[in-house]
Amino acid sequence: MKFVHGEFDIALSGNIMLTQAYGPWNAECVVAFGEAYRIERQLLKADTWSDIVILRGESLLIPDAERVLGVRIAAVVPLGLKKVAIVTAESSVSVTARMQLTRMYDSLDVEYDFFTTYSEAKAWLEEAGFSTSAQSEQAFFAHLPASVL
């Protein structure tokens, strides 16, 4: 199934924001994502956090969506976003998505890296002192294909 405007699932787990992003995305989807992200971040009980973003499907941003996402990420970096781990295994256009996201993240003051699996991404963040809550993590991944984990 192809998602015309993009879809996402988002949840806070410990001090890691978990996101499954189904592309392609337009600016309207990115704005909705930003609002959902803000609501989840308000639950955070720490001054700093990190993100794990799992790309799925045709994971590309149209130019307006890329611009809006860059502005939204730039706004949360000063609030405490420290690292972003991007999982590309379920992306059907991972090379292009990686180039697009590299261009965007290189212009921001946040450390990021790309991973094939969620386990690798989580380990990278754990090395920096971030952690998930087992219960919320399990609930979030209840409908995720096992190939990503």
Would you state the pLDDT for residue 141? 85
Q: What pLDDT is attached to residue 3? A: 45
Could you tell me if 42 and 75 are in contact, meaning their C-beta atoms sit under 8 angstroms apart?
no
Mean pLDDT for back-to-back runs of 10 residues, the chain (149 residues): 70 96 90 94 92 93 92 95 95 92 93 96 98 92 65
Give the burial class of 79: count Cβ atoms within 10 A of its Cβ; 0-12 exposed, 13-18 middle, 19 or more buried.
exposed
For residues 20-39, one letter each, b for 16 or more C-beta atoms within 10 angstroms of the residue's C-beta and e for the rest, the string is bbbbbbbbebbeebbeebee
Beta-sheet strands, E only, within 5-121:
7-13, 16-25, 49-61, 81-91, 111-115
